[in-house]
Amino acid sequence: MRVENGPYRFIISPAKSILIFDLSVVAIVLAMLIVIPIIFAVKLISIAIVVWYGLISMRCFKQAENCELQYLLATNQWVHNGIDVSLRQEQFVTRNFLILYFLTKTGKKITQLIPIDCMPRNQHIRLRKLIIEWSKTNHRGE
């Protein structure tokens, strides 16, 4: 591969951008619920559900743990949180966002969303380059 040498170990922390998006949606929906003229009981129940969703989003973010992704160049093997996985053929790679699709040896599918704020920018760029270069090799689809 033409990607720079070195350890291919990436620590993926919880994404603040996804939390901000969730809380923004909660704020917009709450504002709409307050403004629209509907039955008070329905409005109150809807507001409670939306606030509950916002609280769950914040709790999940606080409890989320870091993930580890590693590529072993010598064996062409991917390791996701200590589990040997294979990278599937279809990946979604953009400048600020990656969606990686893995398959375990037992056939379980794992999807990893990686916004740019989950790791240092240089690591995100390095992972993006690694995924693109890996997809060009004949290891693809194994």
Kindly state whether residues 55 and 103 are assigned to the same domain: no
The rounded distance, in Å, linking the Cα atoms of 4 and 119 is 18
Kindly state whether residues 131 and 84 are assigned to the same domain: yes
What is the rounded average pLDDT for all residues in the chain? 87
Residue 141 lies in a domain: no
In one-letter notation, the amino acid at residue 104 is T
Kindly state whether residues 111 and 84 are assigned to the same domain: yes
Q: Is residue 79's pLDDT more than 50?
A: yes
Among 44, 63, 82, give the residue marking a domain's end: 63
Kindly state whether residues 48 and 75 are assigned to the same domain: no
Kindly state whether residues 106 and 121 are assigned to the same domain: yes
Please say whether the dihedral angle defined by the alpha carbons of residues 37, 43, 46 and 51, taken in this order, is positive or negative: positive
Tokens of 52: 């509950």
Total number of domains in the chain: 2
CA-nearest of 31, 90, 83, 20 to 57 is 20
What is the pLDDT, as a whole number, of residue 43? 94
Q: Is residue 109's pLDDT more than 70?
A: yes
Kindly state whether residues 58 and 82 are assigned to the same domain: no
What is the pLDDT, as a whole number, of residue 4? 54
Among 42, 63, 84, give the residue marking a domain's end: 63
Kindly state whether residues 71 and 131 are assigned to the same domain: yes
The three-point CA angle 87-10-141 to 5° equals: 10
Kindly state whether residues 57 and 23 are assigned to the same domain: yes
Domain that holds residue 49: 16-63
pLDDT, tens only, 40-71: 999 999 999 999 999 999 999 999 999 999 98
The rounded distance, in Å, linking the Cα atoms of 106 and 97 is 28
% of the chain surpassing 90 pLDDT: 46
pLDDT, tens only, 31-48: 999 999 989 999 999 999
